[in-house]
Structure formats: structure tokens, C-alpha cells
């Protein structure tokens, strides 16, 4: 068993910034990420890709280079390709890398596992050719692979970002089928004043929209009755917009209506969560350093609530300062002084969020899908199945899971959990907090017996 | 299974190496993401679901959805979390529903 001061799970902006901050004040840090290279979702593979496609992906992507550079520090051990599958007693992290198991004991643990795309169950969303918009972006960033005939569906700034990256790459999407409405925009307007403090984000948004317009990409808004059709793969998409039924042949459909915290690791150790009505997702209960009800465990980044990459990095630094002070590496005065400007920057970065959250709410037809729509991709359970289980008395997702197998497949509810909670809450006229979420238990990711068998002897060698 | 790809691959100078999927040979760029390389090579269906036999292909590309499962040397793994190495032998997972169940 390797012993260290701080284990960080996730090498995105939050984890990388935390690692550098902690290492700089003398803590020994082990940084684990299942990806082969650091960067997280936004800066995926940035060291290798920036020289090749940096211009196409934009400055917001190449900005990640300063964070990956911070990992080059004697106190930081980055174990890449390390899939964390359990956290034990708030101090031990179990992972597999290269087909072997490893274990680390640490005085503090930071969960920086980021976000997932909000599940978007629409009729036909399990067909090959239907992916998350983030998946298409990952294909582009990491592999230089582009969808030739894609329709982007959903809402939110990330949808526009991906559209503009596709345009710059030379493969414009066929169309944007957007679900937000004029009424959403009206509801967002009162927040525009606050958002102006984050005017750079608004400007960026407007620039992307004009890029999309100049490329001649058709945008449909207030789209409803969205349906993806195809026999063995996506062949076209149907929807209603401006009172007309539309139909676009395509071979790729890219879904996105926002990102939500990936709460799997935190839930597996019983960190308490609550429903955030503004962001329409569950978030962990945290103090203002990212501390949880498990004293040794902190959470930073989009896993703590959606704030974006800049906020993730800043929050990673805050959590690192707190843990460094807890372990006596810095004084509480130093901690608080260093934290002050960081907190100011976070407030500034978050100013645009209430506007965005109102302007681009989740698509209702995907949060409360029609009965025939599959909501659990793994076990192929439909929305109607869940409603029926509510009808016979299922109050929460764990009961529904026992009855229907929804959430029992390998993805452990990552792409059905929110939908199941939403459906049950609606059917039972209960709040999301009353309804709750799946109980998550390790392994967070499947582990093979071979990997477990390799664990004993190889632990020390796996972690230098 | 292998058709004209819906994807375009930007030029990157990488050595192509042979990989076998369901007995057919693919030439894939060494070191690249396996799921991405398979998609670019025209693999449209990665597996069929154990419940209804429906075709599936990568959905999230970030290791979360498990739709990209393939068998590699008898172990079911996520193609989006692997890199291309020479001579990989891949097949569709067939062993029934509990192979990779989290079962919690
Ligand atoms: C697919 C996708 C694409 C996005 N693209 C953009 C974008 O282009 N621009 C933008 O502003 N925002 C984007 N976002 C939003 C994004 O969440 C934030 O901008 C930012 O990446 C959050 O940083 P983070 O450090 O909190 O988490 P992330 O950057 O998500 O990093 C989390 C890391 O944790 C690792 N991890 C998770 N679970 C485990 C585990 N069990 N074991 C080991 N490692 C694990 C992941 O591999 C990942 O590298 C995207 C989000 C998603 C989901
Ligand atoms: S595509 Fe989702 S896990 Fe690989």
C-alpha cells in the first residue's frame, strides 16, 4: 500500500489546479485519472493535441496547457489510466491501471471527477449514430475524427461551442435543433444584469452564434416532438418547430442539454446531496472549501455543481489550501489570505450562470419522456415501466431498481438516474429531495478478478 | 457491420496497424483511441444488447455509458478507454448479461 498526503481523483482543471497548489506548499500528491493523459473533459489530451489542432479548438482549449504544466512537480505523482473503483473509510483509494489493482492510503482525498452530460432520453436515442454532443467533441479533440452528417439537438452554450468547433474543422453540422423557447429567454432576462459581470462569456456566446449564422447552419428553436428514426442506425430526425413538422436525413445525431455533476464517487461514500432547482441536478452538500460530511474528503470542480472549467480550477485551489492548512503545511491565516482573491474570481466567473440556467433549461420531453422511450440504456427499461412501478407504490429509485432492474447495468445509473428520479417525483407528486437518487456502492467501475488478484503483490510497484 | 464511415478522419501521421474485429481485419492508427478509430474505419455496430439484441455503438466516449463494450482477449472492456495496439483481437461481447454487471 502506497502512503501519501493527498490523493486526487480526476485530472481535469479542478484536480490539476489542486495538485499544483498542494504540491507547491509541500504536500505529496498522487493524482489518478482513468484517461491516458491529463486534461479532463474540457482540456482532453491538450498536451498532445494543442500543437496539432489548437487553433481549431480555440484558446479556451489551449488554456489547459498552463494547468498540465503545473503537474511537472517533484511532489506530484500522476498515475494515468487509473480507474478508481472504491474509496474506503475516507482514506483509502482503490484503483486499477494496466490490468492491475492498486491501493493508496492518504490523509486527505479530493474528488474531482467532473460532470456528465445530462441524460437526454428521446425516442431513438439508443440507435448507433446517436451520441452525446460531448462525445463528438471528444472524437474531434482527442482523435481528429469528425461527424460528416450530424444534427445537433438540445440546448445550451456547449451546443454552440461544439457547433462552432465543427464549423472550424470544416464539417458544419447539418442543423441545430434547439429545445429552448422564447419564454425561457424572457425568464432569463431579469438575470442579464448580473450576467454582464461575466460579459466575456456573453460575448463569446454571441461570437459563436454569428459564426454559426455565417456558416449557413440552420437553427430551429422551441423544437418539440423530437424523434430519431432508423432501422439499425440513425437515419433521420423528425421534430416540430414553428408549427411545422420537419424532417432531416442524417447519420449522426448529437444530443446535449447541459451537464450535471458526476456524483458516483461521492455517493459511494455517503456524502449527502441535495436537489439544486436552478441547475436541475443533485449536488453534494459542501462547506465553502468543498468539504463534505466525510471529514477527510473534499470535492471540487463540476462534480460539486456546474461552474465550468475556470471555476473548477479555482475551486480546486481552494480545496487544496484547506487541506494543506488541515495538515499543517500552511497556517490558517495564509490559507484565508490566499483564498480571498480566489473567491472573488469565482464569484465573477459564476455571474453568468443564473442567466444561462434560465435561458437554456433542460428539454422537458427528455426529463419526462413519453412512456415508450427507453430511459435505462443498459437494461432497456422504458419511461412507462418506471411510471407503472410508481403506480404500484415505488417511492424512490432504489425500489424502482429492485422492481425493474433500471440502474442495475454496468453504467450504474449514470445515464438513467436523473430521469428515474424525475419520473418518480412527478408520478408521486413528491419533491426531488423526497424522491432521492440511486444508492451507489463500489465498485464504481467493473473490476475483473484478474485485476483483483494482481492487487496484493503489485501495489507497491504500481505506484513507484 | 463495416460500412462507409459517417466520420471523417483529419490527417495525422500515424502508423496503421492491423486489428481484427469479428474476424475482419481493420487498419487502424497505432496509439489512437480504439473506439474513435473503429468508428472512423466504418464500424457502425460495436455490440448487440443482451436484453433485446439491439445494435449499439459508442454514446459518451468518456467511459460512462458502457455502450462501446467489446471483448478483448476474452475480457469485456470499453473500447473508448483503450488505445489501438498492433494485432488486437476484438469481438462482440456474447457471454450473456452478467459479464460486466456492476451488480450492486
Ligand atoms: C463530454 C464533456 C465535454 C465538455 N466540454 C467542455 C468544453 O469544451 N468547454 C467547457 O467550457 N466545458 C466543457 N465541459 C464542461 C466541463 O465539465 C468543465 O468545463 C470542466 O471540464 C470541469 O472540470 P473538472 O475538473 O471539474 O472535471 P473534468 O474536466 O470532467 O475532469 C474529471 C476527470 O475525472 C476523471 N474521472 C472521473 N471518474 C473517474 C474514476 N472513477 N477514476 C478515475 N478518473 C475518473 C475523468 O477521466 C476526467 O478526466 C464538458 C463536459 C463534458 C462532460
Ligand atoms: S462510449 Fe460510453 S463508455 Fe465508451
Q: Which residues of A189-224 are buried (b: 16+ CB within 10 A; e: fewer)?
A: eebeeebeebeebbebbeebeebbeeeebebbbbbe
- Choose among B33, B40, B56: nearest Cβ to A128: B56
Minimal CA separation from B61 to chain A, in Å: 5
Predicted model pTM: 0.95
Structural domains of chain B, ranges and CATH numbers in brackets: 16-103 (3.10.20.440)
Q: Which residue of A has its CA nearest to B68?
A: A128
Residue bearing cell 502506497: A2
pLDDT at residue number B97: 45
Give the length of chain A.
Answer: 464
Measured from the Cα of B61, ligand 2's closest atom is: 1
Minimal CA separation from B90 to chain A, in Å: 17
Q: Tell me which of A334 and B73 has the higher pLDDT.
A: A334
pLDDT at residue number A20: 98
B59: which chain A residues are within 8 Å (Cβ-Cβ)?
A: 130-132, 135, 377, 415
DSSP state of B55: E
Beta carbons of B55 and A233 less than 8 Å apart: yes
pLDDT at residue number B95: 57
Interface check for B62 against chain A (CB to CB < 8 A): the answer is: yes
- For residue B11, pLDDT over 80 is answered with no
Beta carbons of B55 and A446 less than 8 Å apart: no
Beta carbons of A126 and B56 less than 8 Å apart: yes
Beta carbons of B66 and A409 less than 8 Å apart: yes
Minimal CA separation from B1 to chain A, in Å: 10
Cα–Cα distance measured from residue A425 to residue A422, given in angstroms and rounded to the nearest whole number: 5
Q: Are strands A92-97 and A150-154 parallel, antiparallel or unpaired?
A: unpaired
Cα–Cα distance measured from residue B56 to residue A126, given in angstroms and rounded to the nearest whole number: 7
Cα–Cα distance measured from residue A248 to residue A60, given in angstroms and rounded to the nearest whole number: 32
ipTM over cut 0.85: yes
Beta carbons of A143 and B33 less than 8 Å apart: yes
pLDDT at residue number B9: 85
Does the beta carbon of B82 sit less than 6 angstroms from any atom of ligand 2? no
Measured from the Cα of A116, ligand 1's closest atom is: 53
The three cell numbers of residue B100 are: 460486466
Of the pLDDT bands very low, low, confident and very high (cuts 50, 70, 90), residue B44 is very high
pLDDT at residue number A451: 82
Could you write out the DSSP letters of every residue in chain B?
A: -B-S-SEEE------EEEEEETTEEEEEETTSBHHHHHHHTTB---EE-TTT--EE--SSSSSSS-TTEEEETTEEEEGGG-B--TT-EEE---S-TTTT----
Interface check for A2 against chain B (CB to CB < 8 A): the answer is: no
Interface check for A412 against chain B (CB to CB < 8 A): the answer is: yes
Phi-psi region of A308 (alpha: psi -120 to 50; beta: other; left: phi over 0): left
Residue pLDDT, tens place only, A199-227: 889 999 999 999 999 999 999 999 999 99
Q: Are strands A130-132 and A252-256 parallel, antiparallel or unpaired?
A: parallel
pLDDT at residue number A456: 57
Structural domains of chain A, ranges and CATH numbers in brackets: 2-116+260-330 (3.50.50.60), 119-257 (3.50.50.60), 368-430 (1.10.10.1100)
Does the beta carbon of B100 sit less than 6 angstroms from any atom of ligand 2? no
Measured from the Cα of B60, ligand 2's closest atom is: 2
Tell me if residue B48 falls in helix, strand or coil: strand
- For residue B101, pLDDT over 70 is answered with no
Cα–Cα distance measured from residue A462 to residue B17, given in angstroms and rounded to the nearest whole number: 29
Ranges of residues in chain A whose predicted pLDDT is under 70: 456-464
- Which among A227, A248, A280 has a CA at the least distance from the CA of A176? A248
Beta carbons of B62 and A135 less than 8 Å apart: yes
The three cell numbers of residue A176 are: 441545430
- Which among A69, A56, A62, A4 has a CA at the least distance from the CA of A30? A4
Amino acid at each position: 500500500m502506497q502512503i501519501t498526503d493527498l490523493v486526487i481523483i480526476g485530472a481535469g482543471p479542478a484536480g490539476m489546479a489542486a495538485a499544483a497548489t498542494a504540491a507547491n506548499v509541500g504536500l505529496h500528491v498522487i493524482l489518478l485519472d482513468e484517461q491516458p493523459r491529463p486534461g479532463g473533459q474540457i482540456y482532453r489530451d491538450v498536451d498532445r493535441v494543442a500543437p496539432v489542432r489548437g487553433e481549431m479548438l480555440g484558446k479556451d482549449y489551449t488554456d489547459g496547457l498552463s494547468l498540465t504544466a503545473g503537474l511537472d512537480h517533484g511532489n506530484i505523482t500522476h498515475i494515468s489510466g487509473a480507474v478508481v473503483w472504491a474509496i474506503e473509510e475516507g482514506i483509502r483509494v482503490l484503483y486499477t491501471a494496466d490490468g492491475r489493482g492498486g491501493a493508496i492510503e492518504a490523509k486527505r482525498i479530493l474528488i474531482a471527477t467532473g460532470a456528465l452530460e445530462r441524460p437526454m432520453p428521446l425516442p431513438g436515442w439508443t440507435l448507433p449514430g446517436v451520441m452525446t454532443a460531448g462525445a463528438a467533441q471528444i472524437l474531434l479533440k482527442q482523435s481528429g475524427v469528425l461527424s460528416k452528417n450530424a444534427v445537433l439537438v438540445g440546448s445550451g452554450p456547449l451546443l454552440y461551442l461544439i457547433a462552432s468547433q465543427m464549423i472550424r474543422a470544416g464539417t458544419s453540422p447539418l442543423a441545430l435543433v434547439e429545445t429552448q423557447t422564447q419564454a425561457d429567454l424572457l425568464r432569463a432576462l431579469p438575470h442579464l444584469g448580473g450576467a454582464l459581470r461575466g460579459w466575456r462569456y456573453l460575448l463569446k456566446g454571441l461570437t459563436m452564434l454569428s459564426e454559426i449564422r455565417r456558416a449557413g447552419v440552420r437553427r430551429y428553436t422551441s423544437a418539440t416532438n423530437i424523434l430519431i428514426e432508423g432501422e439499425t442506425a440513425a437515419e433521420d430526425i423528425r421534430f416540430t418547430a414553428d408549427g411545422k413538422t420537419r424532417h432531416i436525413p442524417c447519420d449522426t445525431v448529437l444530443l446535449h442539454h447541459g451537464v450535471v455533476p458526476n456524483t458516483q464517487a461521492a455517493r459511494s461514500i455517503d456524502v449527502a446531496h441535495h436537489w439544486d432547482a436552478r441547475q436541475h441536478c443533485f449536488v453534494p452538500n459542501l462547506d465553502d472549501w468543498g468539504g463534505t460530511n466525510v471529514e477527510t474528503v473534499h470535492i471540487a470542480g463540476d462534480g460539486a455543481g456546474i461552474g465550468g472549467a475556470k471555476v473548477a480550477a479555482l475551486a480546486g485551489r481552494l480545496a487544496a489550501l484547506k487541506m494543506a492548512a488541515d495538515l499543517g503545511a500552511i497556517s490558517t491565516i495564509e490559507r484565508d489570505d490566499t483564498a480571498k482573491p480566489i473567491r472573488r474570481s469565482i464569484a465573477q466567473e459564476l455571474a453568468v450562470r443564473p442567466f444561462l440556467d434560465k435561458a437554456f433549461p433542460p428539454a422537458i420531453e427528455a426529463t419526462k419522456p413519453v412512456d415508450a422511450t427507453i430511459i435505462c440504456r443498459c437494461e432497456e427499461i422504458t419511461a412507462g415501466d418506471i411510471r407503472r412501478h410508481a403506480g404500484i407504490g415505488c417511492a424512490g429509485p432504489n425500489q424502482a431498481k429492485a422492481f425493474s432492474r433500471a440502474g442495475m447495468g454496468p453504467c450504474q445509473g449514470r445515464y438513467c438516474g436523473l430521469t428515474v428520479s424525475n419520473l418518480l417525483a412527478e408520478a408521486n407528486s413528491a419533491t426531488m429531495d423526497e424522491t432521492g437518487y440511486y444508492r451507489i456502492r463500489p465498485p464504481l467501475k467493473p473490476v475483473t478478478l484478474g485485476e483483483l488478484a494482481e492487487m496484493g503483490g503489485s501495489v507497491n510497484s504500481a505506484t513507484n | 457491420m463495416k460500412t462507409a464511415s459517417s466520420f471523417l478522419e483529419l490527417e495525422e501521421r500515424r502508423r496503421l496497424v492491423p486489428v481484427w474485429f469479428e474476424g475482419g481485419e481493420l487498419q487502424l492508427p497505432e496509439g489512437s483511441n480504439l473506439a474513435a478509430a473503429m468508428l472512423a474505419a466504418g464500424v457502425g455496430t460495436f455490440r448487440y444488447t443482451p436484453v433485446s439484441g439491439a445494435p449499439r455503438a459508442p454514446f459518451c466516449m468518456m467511459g460512462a455509458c458502457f455502450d462501446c463494450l467489446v471483448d478483448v482477449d476474452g475480457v469485456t472492456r470499453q473500447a473508448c478507454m483503450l488505445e489501438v495496439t498492433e494485432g488486437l483481437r476484438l469481438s462482440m461481447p456474447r457471454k450473456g448479461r452478467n459479464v460486466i454487471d456492476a451488480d450492486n
